[in-house]
């Protein structure tokens, strides 16, 4: 069983224990100018440490995957790892032995070799990451463990894919960047939504100039998780609800932020420079508990402090604005928002009353009269090659409409062929930085705080990312 998972969690700004976030940042009583400076420091590189930008994987004949964390997400992703050509799951790890056994059984049922079961106390992942038969470590544990497990995998010489957030403090994000640069191993987030079919079509349309100059985008994670947060059987040890007792932060906006960042070429020609945050009062969880949760439930000892709707406004070096939102404690249908706009038009996802909605566009010169048009024909025209190639397999083997499988397939094939990852440690850090930066901004009364340049200057160069071409992928060995 994980011990003291709440207590062992790092501060949202790095270093200090939970509850002292403003002190940790040194911004508790800061002036707006000081608040802006407090988060901008760029640590120096050690001698010999160089960038991971454009660094290809070493080619692997077969990619041997080790999975850490076999709860809802980890066990669900095992199906995709088992189906991807060229991947084999060699080890599965969870502090709960029954979950590791369940994952191993699942692989055998799928006709795959039985993996090693690695189980034990909270540091059991160290036994998985140091195994000789693992090339890629996939981490799907609660957020508070991601940083130390991701770092341990890098130090053990493994590439690592970590569920978001890869870390929640600035110090930890910088440490992951530095550790990746020193070990020459890639750390990437399991950012499945970046491989969403609509998101990739939107990205290709942006690069083809359909929106003109892109000026603004809006993404987020708006998901009514209240029943799951108070369930005693869903999140292990209620880890996710406990994050709402610690600090007001934009805890998990990345699934909506990342596709907008990709469409704006963040870290590939543009970069995020400043962030200011607002938060509504934390009312949703307490209101839900009062109406639906028995008085004897342990949650009645908790106080929820994270605002229901946390909004980050992010400036970019090219003068764009991104709005990134997080709300998991209010009643509403699911949305990642996924809206992009520019001088020639706009795309809005999640529009319409049907589940998800099919998306709508308004693009000059084709459209006029202030009337939205269907996105469907644009999605067909700008469908990404990955979806054309493996869309059917994705639907059969992966959750979230298939984008989980596309993420897994692409990562494995890039590792097999010795390609450059579509998403790297710099993207990981930039997409997660709004967590500590929103804390810093809110602590400073909503003042803007500086967005660190995790690339240390490499952001200005255009380079390929998620908008890849099939022809650019080296042949698989
Ligand atoms: N990308 C997505 O679409 C998506 C969807 C759902 C969840 N997630 C992410 O997946 C992660 C896990 O979420 P979940 O819903 O599966 O949670 P969960 O509580 O169902 O599972 C967590 C698992 O981690 C295990 N664990 C805890 N500490 C461990 C340790 N030190 N070593 C090994 N195992 C340990 C637990 O025993 C449990 O089985 C989270 O980061 C979450 O945000 C991502």
Beta bridge mates, 266: 270
Q: Are 209 and 391 in contact (CB under 8 A)?
A: no
pLDDT of 21:
38
Could you tell me how far CA 57 lies from the centroid of its own chain? 21
Ligand 1 centroid distance, CA of 142 (Å) = 5
pLDDT reading at 396 higher than 90: no
Could you tell me how far CA 403 lies from the centroid of its own chain? 13
> Tokens in use for 81?
């790892």
Report the atom number in ligand 1 closest to the C-alpha of 143.
41
Integer Cα distance of 221 and 338 in angstroms: 10
pTM of the entire predicted model: 0.94
Report the CATH number of the 63-193 domain. 3.40.50.720
CB atoms within 10 A of CB 355: 8
Is the C-beta atom of 195 inside 6 A of ligand 1? no
Is the C-beta atom of 99 inside 6 A of ligand 1? yes
Query: Worst-scoring range by mean pLDDT, 26-35, 65-74, 304-313, 316-325?
Result: 26-35
pLDDT reading at 4 higher than 70: no
Ligand 1 centroid distance, CA of 96 (Å) = 12
Q: What is the mean pLDDT of residues 422-447?
A: 96
Report the CATH number of the 3-30+196-386+426-460 domain. 3.30.360.10
Report the atom number in ligand 1 closest to the C-alpha of 191.
1
Residue 408, classified by CB atoms within 10 Å of its CB into exposed (0-12), middle (13-18) or buried (19+), is buried
Q: What is the mean pLDDT of residues 16-33?
A: 41
* Nearest C-alpha neighbor of 386 from the set 361, 411, 419, 352: 411
Going through 115-264 in order, the beta strands assigned E by DSSP cover 116-119, 136-139, 159-162, 187-189, 214-222
Could you tell me how far CA 241 lies from the centroid of its own chain? 18
Q: What is the CA radius of gyration of the chain?
A: 21
Going from N- to C-terminal start, the domains of the chain cover 3-30+196-386+426-460, 63-193
The angle formed by the CA atoms of residues 229, 235 and 241, to the nearest 5 degrees, is: 40
Ligand 1 centroid distance, CA of 307 (Å) = 23
pLDDT digits (tens, 9 = 90+) for 143-202: 999 999 999 999 999 999 999 999 999 999 999 999 999 999 999 999 999 999 999 999
Is the C-beta atom of 425 inside 6 A of ligand 1? no
């Amino acid at each position: 069983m994980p011990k003291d998972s709440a207590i062992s969690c790092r501060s949202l700004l790095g270093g200090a224990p939970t509850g002292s976030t403003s002190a940790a940042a040194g911004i508790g009583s800061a002036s707006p100018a000081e608040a802006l400076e407090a988060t901008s420091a760029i640590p120096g590189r050690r001698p010999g440490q160089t960038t991971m930008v454009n660094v290809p994987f070493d080619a692997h004949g077969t990619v041997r995957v080790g999975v850490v964390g076999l709860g809802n997400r980890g066990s669900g992703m095992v199906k995709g790892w088992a189906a991807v050509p060229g991947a084999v799951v060699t080890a599965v790890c969870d502090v709960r032995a029954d979950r590791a056994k369940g994952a191993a059984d699942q692989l055998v049922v799928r006709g795959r070799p039985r993996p090693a079961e690695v189980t034990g106390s909270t540091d059991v992942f160290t036994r998985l990451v140091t195994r000789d038969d693992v090339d890629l470590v996939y981490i799907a544990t609660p957020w508070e463990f991601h940083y130390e497990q991701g770092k341990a995998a890098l130090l053990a010489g493994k590439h690592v894919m970590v569920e978001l957030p890869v870390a929640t403090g600035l110090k930890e994000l910088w440490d992951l960047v530095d550790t990746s640069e020193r070990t020459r191993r890639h750390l990437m987030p399991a950012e499945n939504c970046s491989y969403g079919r609509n998101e990739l079509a939107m990205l290709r349309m942006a690069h083809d100039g359909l929106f003109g100059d892109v000026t603004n985008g809006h993404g987020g994670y708006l998901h009514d998780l209240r029943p799951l947060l108070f369930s005693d059987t869903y999140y292990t040890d209620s880890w996710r609800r406990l994050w709402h007792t610690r600090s007001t932060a934009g805890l998990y906006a990345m699934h909506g932020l990342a596709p907008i960042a990709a469409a704006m070429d963040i870290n590939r020609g543009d970069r995020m420079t400043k962030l200011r945050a607002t938060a509504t009062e934390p009312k949703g969880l307490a209101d839900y508990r009062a109406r639906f949760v028995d008085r004897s439930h342990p949650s009645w000892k908790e106080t929820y402090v994270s605002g229901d709707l946390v909004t980050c406004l992010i400036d970019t070096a090219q003068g764009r604005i991104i709005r990134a939102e997080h709300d998991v404690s209010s009643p509403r249908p699911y949305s990642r928002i996924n809206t992009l706009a520019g001088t020639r038009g706009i795309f809005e996802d999640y529009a319409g009353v049907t589940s998800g909605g099919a998306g709508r566009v308004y693009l000059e010169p084709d459209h006029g009269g202030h009337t939205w048009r269907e996105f469907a024909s644009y999605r067909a025209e700008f469908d990404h090659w990955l979806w054309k190639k493996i869309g059917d397999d994705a639907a059969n083997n992966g959750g979230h409409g298939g984008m989980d499988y596309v993420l897994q397939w692409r990562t494995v094939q890039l590792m097999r062929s010795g390609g450059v990852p579509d998403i790297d440690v710099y993207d990981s850090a930039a997409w997660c930085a709004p967590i500590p930066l929103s804390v810093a901004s809110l602590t400073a009364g909503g003042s803007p705080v500086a967005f660190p340049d995790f690339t240390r200057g490499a952001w200005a160069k255009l380079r390929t990312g998620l908008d890849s071409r099939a022809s650019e992928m080296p042949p698989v060995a």
